[in-house]
Structure 1
Amino acid sequence: MITVAGSINMDLVVTTDRTPNKGETLLGRDFQTNPGGKGANQAVAAARLGNTTNMIGHVGKDAFGVSLIENLTQQNVGTEYVKTKDGSSGIATITVAEGDNSIIVIPGANFSWELEEWKQYASIIQKSDVLILQLEIPLNVVEAFANMANKVGTTVILNPAPAQALPATLITLADYLTPNETECKELFGMEAEDAVAQFPNKLIVTEGEKGALYHDGTSLMRIPGFRVKAVDTTGAGDTFNGALASAIAEGLALKEAVSFANAAASLSVQHHGAQKGMPLREAVLERLGELE
C-alpha cells in the first residue's frame, strides 16, 4: 500500500503558442481546469498502476475542494484522510507553450496544518509500504511525517519540489530523494553526476527524456528514458514518483524500479493535463518491452 502526504490543487491551465515576454499580452489557445497538486498527482499515478493508494492532505471550503475530493475518489485514491479546511483550496496557474510549462502555485488549504495534526495519521503510515512526500505543504509537517515513517519502517520517497533548502535530518530520514536536474543543483550546489555520488542509492535525479541518474555505491547508473514527442510535460515528475513508489512497494530492485518510472513518465507527457496522461500498468509494461 502507498500513502501520499502532500498538496491537492486545482490547476488553471492556459495553452498558448509561446510564453509572453515581460509586459506583453498574448491571445491564448485554450483554458482548462484540471485536478492537480504534486501530492494528488503522485497518488493518482500510483493508483492508476493498480496500487492501493491513500491521500493525506487538505482542501478548502469552496467548489474546487468538493471537485478535488470527488476526482480522487473517481481515481480510486482513498480520501478518508483528506480534510476540508476554512478558506480556499490550493491552485496552480500553468502556462503551456512550446511543449513545456511554467507554474505558479498558491498553497491555500495546503498550508493550513494545525500543531501536531500529523499525529492523527500514524496508523495509516504504519500500514503503508511507501510514503511519498513533496514540498508543497509546510516543511515541518513533511519532516514530521518522514520521522514517523522512519520509526515504523515505512519507505520514504521525498520529491524535493519546489526546491528549497532541506535540513540535514530530513535528507537522512528519506530513503529516496528524487529531484530533477535543476532542483538537484539548487539543493546541493553541484552537478547531478557529483551529487548522486554523495548519496548512493538514495539520490535519483530525473533528466527528462534522457532518463534518470543515480549512484549504486560503486559506479554511476544512468537509466535511459524514452524519446517521445512531448505534448505537455505537466505531471511527468509526479508520474515518475508515483511509479517509482509502485515499483518499490512491489519489491523491484532500484534499477528496475527507475526504468519502470521512466516508462510511466514518458507516457504521461504524450497527453494534456497532469493526471489525464498518467498511464495504466498495461501501457507501462508495453513500453518497457521496447527495451528488449
Structure 2
Amino acid sequence: MSTQLPAVTVVGSINLDMIATTDRLPTAGETIGGAVLSEQPGGKGANQAAAAARLGGSARMVGAVGKDAPGQRMLDALAAAGVDTSDVAQLSEPTGTALIVVDRGGENQIVVCPGANAGFSMEGVEFRADEAVLCQLEVGLDVVLEAARKASGFFVLNAAPAMDLPAELLERCDLVIVNETEYELIPALADAKLVAVTYGKDGSAMFERGRRVAEAPAAAVTVANTIGAGDAFCAALVLALRSGLDYTQALAVANAVGADAVGDPSSQPDLAQLGHYVERTTAASGASS
C-alpha cells in the first residue's frame, strides 16, 4: 500500500441535516412526541469529502450551497475537516436541507430538499488524471454525467438514491458502490465493470460483471446513526483501492471505517487515518487465520 494517499474530488450534495431522534419511526399519518432535535452538516457529497479528508486523503468538494447562514456553516465544516472548498458555488437558492427522523436503533427516514444542490453546473471544473472522482445521485443526473465525461482518471459512482442510469454513465464508471437494496433496484448493475455492494451487518462484496469476486465480513458495532456510515465506506473504499489494496483488503478496511462511522452520532464523524484501519484489519485477519 502506498504511504501517500491519493487525491479524491467529490462532486455532490451539501445539506444541512435537521435530525429528530425518537424511540421509533412514525407510521403514515402518525404523530410522535418526545423527540430531540439537532442540526449538523450533511449531504452525501459533503459527508464523503469530509470522510476522505479525515482518512488522510487530499479531498476537494464540487457542489453548491446558498448565500445564507447554513451555507456558510457547511463551508466552515468542510474546511475544518480539511476539504478544499474552492469549487463550491454559492447560489441564490437556499442551502439544501435533509429532514431526518432516527429511531433508537439507528434506522432512519429522510426527506431531502435539494435547494442549491439542484442549481450548480460543472462549468469551469477540471479534473487531473491522477485524482479519483466520486459522485452520488443527490444532484442532477446531467451534472453527474458531465463529471463522468470530464474525468480522465478513476471515476466512481455511489448510485444512491437508486434510479435508472444512462448506459453512457455506467460505461464510464470504473466502480459503482451501492447497498443491497440499490443493487436490486438497478438491474443494469449486473453488467457493470465493477460493483461494490454493502449488506449492513453481513459485510460487503465486490462483483465484476455480475460475478462475485471478493467479500469481507462486517465488524460488530453498537449503532448510533447510520446516516453517514455508507458515505464513510465509499470514501474509504476509493482510497483503499487507489492505494493499491486488493479487493478483499479494501472491502475489509472500508467495512471497519463504516463500523466506526455507524457508532458515531454525527453524519460527518471523526475518523482515524486510513493506515490505522489497514493495520487493524490486517491484525484481525491474521488472528482469525
User: Which amino acid counterpart does residue 108 of structure 2 have in structure 1?
Assistant: N
Q: Does 1:237 align with 2:230?
A: yes
Partners of 1:100 and 1:242 in 2: how far apart? 22
Secondary structure of 1:163's match? coil
Match of 1:33 among 21, 33, 39: 39
1:118 partnered with 2:111: no
Counterpart AA for 1:213? A
The structural deviation recorded for 1:221 is: 2.5
Q: State the shift of 1:251 in Å.
A: 2.3
8 A Cα contact 2:171 2:192, kept in partner:
no
Where does the alignment leave 5 or more consecutive residues of structure 1 unmatched?
190-194
1:267–1:284 Cα contact (<8 Å) kept:
no
Q: Is the 8 A contact 2:195 2:208 kept in 1?
A: no
| C-alpha contact (below 8 Å) 1:39/1:133 kept by paired residues | yes
The one-letter amino acid paired with 1:118 is: M
**Residue 267 of structure 1 contacts residue 279 of structure 1 at CA under 8 Å; is this kept in 2?**
no
User: 1:215 offset after TM fit, Å?
Assistant: 2.8
* Number of residues of Structure 1 aligned to a counterpart in Structure 2: 277
Q: Which residue of 2 aligns with 1:204?
A: 196
Q: Which residue of 1 aligns with 2:3?
A: none
Cross-structure match for 1:192: none
Q: Deviations over 1:16-39 (max 9, x none)?
A: 000112222112332111100000
Match of 1:274 in 2: 267
User: How far, CA to CA, are the matches of 1:107 and 1:88 in structure 2?
Assistant: 9
Counterparts of 1:128 and 1:105, CA distance in 2 = 33
Match of 1:167 in 2: 166
Residues 142/219 of structure 1: CA separation in 2 closer, same or farther (3 Å cut) = closer
Residue type at the aligned position of 2:202: K
**1:44 aligns to what SS in structure 2?**
helix
Distance of aligned partners of 1:219 and 1:74 in 2 relative to their CA distance in 1, 3 Å threshold: closer
Alignment of 1:241-280 (within 5 A): 241-280=234-273
TM-score calculated relative to the size of structure 1: 0.89
Any gaps of 5 or more consecutive residues in structure 2? 1-6
Match of 2:137 in 1: 135
- Distance verdict in 2 for CA 1:17–1:277, change over 3 Å: farther
Match of 1:90? Answer: 96
C-alpha contact 2:214 2:247 (8 A) present in aligned 1: no
Q: Larger deviation: 207-216 or 259-268?
A: 207-216
- CA 1:16/1:250 → structure 2, altered by over 3 Å: closer, same or farther? same
How much has 1:281 moved relative to structure 2? 3.2
> Is the Cα–Cα contact under 8 Å of residues 170 and 192 in structure 2 kept in the other structure?
no
1: CA distance between counterparts of 2:212 and 2:129? 34
CA distance in 1, matches of 2:79, 2:212: 43
Change (3 A) 1:216 1:118: closer
Question: Which residue number corresponds to residue 4 of structure 2?
Answer: none
* Structure 2 letter corresponding to 1:99: G
Cα gap change, 1:64/1:223 in structure 2, threshold over 3 Å: closer, same or farther? same
Per the alignment, residue 109 of structure 2 pairs with: 102
Give SS of 2:125's match.
helix
4+ residue runs of structure 1 moved beyond 3 angstroms? 216-220, 277-283
Q: Secondary structure at the match of 1:221?
A: strand
Structure 1 equivalent of residue 84 of structure 2: 78
Q: After the TM superposition, which of the residue ranges 240-249 and 75-84 deviates more from structure 2?
A: 240-249
Shift of 1:95: 0.7
Residue 201 of structure 2 aligns to a residue whose secondary structure is: helix
Which segment drifts farther, 48-57 or 206-215? 206-215
Q: Is the 8 A contact 1:3 1:128 kept in 2?
A: no
Tell me, in whole angstroms, the C-alpha distance in 2 between the residues paired with 1:178 and 1:199: 11
Question: 1:286 offset after TM fit, Å?
Answer: 5.4
Once the 2 structures are TM-superposed, how far is the Cα of residue 199 of structure 1 from its aligned partner? Answer: 3.3
Shift of 1:279: 4.3
Aligned AA (1:256): Q
Alignment counterpart, residue 15 of structure 1, candidates 3, 21, 25: 21
